[in-house]
Amino acid sequence: MVIALGLGLDLWAMATMMRTRTNILPNRAAGRLVTRGPFAISRNPIYLGNTTLMFGIGLAFNVLWLLPLGICAAALVERLAIRREEAHLALLFGPEWVAYATTTARWLKWPF
């Protein structure tokens, strides 16, 4: 079930970006600020989905070292990718980004 949740979140986020007609590749400039769908509960639903998928694989196949590895990977992604992407979005979208970032958690809005 955790694998399906992670994969579903990834696919939902990618489909939302494609419907919005914005770039999905992290090394290219964003065309639009996406704030609906999974982006309403997380500013980074694809990274969250990837982390959830790793946890699910670790649990499903009893490869428990994937759990702490997933936490380490998420910390590295935040430091090496997310912070840079957020700076890029802040420059491109200014006040719209600030409003979104203050109301939506970087990883997961809790409670849903």
Does residue 108 form part of some domain?
Answer: no
**What is the model's pLDDT at position 112?**
57
Alpha-carbon dihedral angle through residues 98, 12, 14, 97, given to the nearest 10 degrees: 0
Position 55 in a domain: yes
Query: Is residue 111 in a domain?
Result: no
44, pLDDT greater than 60? yes
pTM score above 0.85: yes
**Mean per-residue pLDDT of the chain:** 94
Tell which residue, 56, 38, 15, 5, has the closest CA to residue 108.
38
| Cα–Cα distances in angstroms (integers) from residue 89 to residues 33, 45, 65, 83, 101, in the given order | 8, 16, 34, 10, 10
Residues 6+ apart with CB under 8 A from 8: 49
Instruction: Please tell me the predicted confidence (pLDDT) of residue 23.
Output: 84
Furthest C-alpha separation in the chain: 45
Q: Is the pLDDT higher at 75 or at 28?
A: 75
Q: Is residue 79 over pLDDT 60?
A: yes
Total domains, the chain: 1
Domain housing 51 = 2-103
Mean pLDDT of 31-38: 94
